[in-house]
Structure 1
Amino acid sequence: MTSTALPTVTPAPDVPPVVAPAPERRRRPSSGLRSDRPGVRLASWAALIVCGGFALLPVYWLLATSLTPRDQVFSYPPKLFPTEITFDAYTSLTSNPQLFTYLQNSVIVSVITALLSVIVSAYMGYSFSKFRYRGRRQLMYFVLASQMFPQALLLVTLYSVFSAYGLLNTYTALVLSFTTFTLPLCVWMLKGFFDTIPDELIEAARVDGASRLRTIHSIVLPLAAPGLVAAGLFAFVRGWNDFIFALTLAGPDKQTLPPGLVNTYVGEAATAWPELMAASLVVSLPVAIAFMLLQRFLVSGMTAGAVKG
C-alpha cells in the first residue's frame, strides 16, 4: 500500500474585522438659552444691576441722609442726590461720650457671645458627629427644634428668670440670652463640618496614644478652623445687631449700640435723622469689614457637609 501524504494547511493570518464607520449624527440645534448669546448676557447683567441696586439703595440712602442738612431732610419732592453736603452729623458723633459707652458694651457682649458660642457648639457638634449613644438623634432634633420658637416669645420668661437671680442690667443677661439663640445654628454648622473630617484620622491619633481631648484640641479643631470662624462670626453679628433683648434686659449703663442710638436720637417730639443715619452707617462698618475679610471662611463653614465625597 502506498501512503498518500496529506497536504499541509497553513492557517490564514488573523485579519481584524472591518468595521464600517458609523454615520455622523447631525447635531440638533439646542433649544435652550446659551450664555454666550448677547441677549442672555445683557439680561443677566440687567438682573444683576437691579438686584444690586435694590440691596444697596438703603445703604446709599443712609449715606445721603447723613450728609444732608437737617432742614433739608424732609424737603419735597425728595431728592435722590443732596444739593448741599455737610459733615455736621459725623462730627457730632465724636462729641457724644455716651456713644462710646454703647460701643464698648457692644464689643464686650458680642465678643463674649462669639467665644462662648464657639466653645460650647464645638464640643456639642463634635459629640453629635463622632459619638454614637442612645438618644443622640432625638437630642439633635431637640436642639434644632428650639429654633422654631420666636425669640421675642421667650423675652418675658427670660426677664422673669434674670430678675429672680438678680442678673438684670448686667452683661451676663445679654450674653446668656444671645448665646442661647445662636447655639442651635452653630451646633449644626459645626456638626456638618466635623462630618467631613475622616474617622481614620481620629483613629490614627488614638493609636498613637493621644487622648480624646488631645485629639480634639490638636487635630480636629485646627482642621475645623473655617467652621469655627463662621460660627463665631454668626454669633458676633447676633450680639451686635440685637435690639429688643438689649433694650429690655440691660439698663442705660449696659445697653448696646442699637437701643442706645434710638434712645439718643429718637425723641417724642423730633428725631435727629442725619445724626441717626450717620451713627447707623458707622456702626455697620465693623460688621461689613468682618464679612469682607472672613467671607471665604463663612462660605466654607456654611456649606460644609452638604456634599459627601
Structure 2
Amino acid sequence: MTTVLEKSSATEPATPRERQRRRVPIGRTIVVLLIALFSGWTLWPLYWMVSTSLKSPLEATNLEPTVWPHSLTLDNYQGLFSSSIPFGTYFFNSVLTALIAALVAVLLSTLAGYSFSRGGYRLNGVTSITVLATQMLPLVVLIGPLYLLLLKAHLLNTYLGLIIGYTSFALPFGAWMMKGFFDGIPREIEEAARVDGYGRLAILFRIVVPMSLPGLVTTAVFVFMNTWNNLLYPLTLVSTDSRQTLPAGLMQSFSGTFKTDWGGMMAAALITSLPLIIAFFAVQRSMVRGMTAGALAGT
C-alpha cells in the first residue's frame, strides 16, 4: 500500500510554487554570470593598466602581448619622479586646482540652489532653466570666449585662470543638484527658525546646509572628478609645465613621434586614478544617499 502511494506521489505534477522554487536558482545563476561577465569587462582595462605598468619597456612594446609580466619591475614608477618629466608638479597642480574648484563650486552652488529652491522672485523659474540650458553647450564652444576673457585679464598660465574655468562649467550642474536637495527639506523648519529671529543666511548655513550634507559631499565629489579629468581647459589655457595639470601634461610627456613609453604611461595613469578611487570609496555612502535624495526631491 505504501509503495503505491509513493509511486502516485512521485508521478503527481509539480505545483506552481514548486516550479517557482526550481526556477529561482536558475535565475540567480544567470544573474550572477551576467554580473561576473560585466565586472570582468569593466575591470579588465584596470588590470591591463596595472600589468603594463609592471613590465619592462621591451615587454610592454612586444608584438605578442603577455597577460602577466614575465619579470616584475618598478622602474616605470621610479622613472616618474627621477626622469625629466615634472610628474610631481603636474600632480600638485591637479590636486590644488581640483580641490579649490570643488570648494568654490560647492559654495556658489549652495547659494544658487537655495535661491532657485526658495526664491520667490518673478524670474526664478526662467533663471534656473537658463542656467541649466548652459549645460547643453559643449566645452569646445565655451573655450574660445573663455580664452579671450582670461587673455584680457592676464590670467593665462595661472592657477586662478584654471580654477575660474573649472568652476564656471561646474556651477550649472552643482546648482541644480543642490536645488534638488533643498526641495526635499521641509519649509516649516525654516519658518520656525525665522520666528526665532534667524535671517536668510543664518537659516541657510546653520540649519539647511547641515541637513543637506550628503548633497554637499555628492556635489563636491562630482566637481572634483570632472575637474581632475578635464583635458581641454589645461591644454588650451596653460602652456608652461609649472602650471600644467596631469591629463594634459601626461599626454604631452609620454606620446612621442617615433616611440611611446607605454609602461611609464600606465604607471602614471594608475597613480592619477588613485585619488579618484580613494575619494569615491571614502564618500560612497554619502554619494548614494545624496543622489537618491536629490532624485526623490526632484520628482
Q: TM-score of the superposition, structure 1-length normalised?
A: 0.86
2:215 aligns to what? Answer: 227
1:45 aligns to what? Answer: 32
The amino acid that maps onto 1:89 is N
2:113 aligns to what? Answer: 125
What SS class does the counterpart of residue 295 from structure 2 fall into? coil
Equivalent residue in structure 2 for 1:105, among 90, 93, 98:
93
Provide Cα deviations, 1:104-160, integer angstroms capped at 9, x if missing partner. 111110011001100100011011111221011111111111111111222122112
Q: Aligned runs of 1:196-275 on 2, under 5 Å?
A: 196-252=184-240, 253-275=242-264
Structure with greater helix share of residues: 2
2:10 aligns to what? Answer: none
1:160 aligns to what? Answer: 148
Task: Give unmatched runs, 5+ long, in structure 2.
Answer: 1-14
Equivalent residue in structure 1 for 2:65, among 59, 62, 78:
78
Deviating beyond 6 angstroms after TM superposition, the runs of 4 or more aligned structure 1 residues are: 32-36
Equivalent residue in structure 1 for 2:265, among 269, 276, 298:
276
The amino acid that maps onto 2:260 is T
Query: Quick one: structure 1 residues 103 and 34, their matched pair in 2 at CA, closer, same or farther if it must change by over 3 Å?
Result: farther
Query: Quick one: structure 1 residues 48 and 95, their matched pair in 2 at CA, closer, same or farther if it must change by over 3 Å?
Result: same
Cα distance in 2 for partners of 1:266, 1:200 equals 59
C-alpha contact (below 8 Å) 2:55/2:73 kept by paired residues:
yes
- Report the count of equivalent residues: 282
Superposition CA RMSD, Å = 2.0
The amino acid that maps onto 1:62 is M
- Quick check: 1:171 aligned with 2:159? yes
C-alpha contact (below 8 Å) 2:61/2:262 kept by paired residues:
no
Cα distance in 2 for partners of 1:261, 1:88 equals 17
1:16 aligns to what? Answer: none
Larger Rg: 1
- Quick check: 1:93 aligned with 2:80? yes
1:25 aligns to what? Answer: none
Task: Give unmatched runs, 5+ long, in structure 1.
Answer: 1-27
C-alpha contact (below 8 Å) 1:69/1:84 kept by paired residues:
yes
Identity of aligned residues (%): 41
Equivalent residue in structure 2 for 1:144, among 107, 132, 141:
132
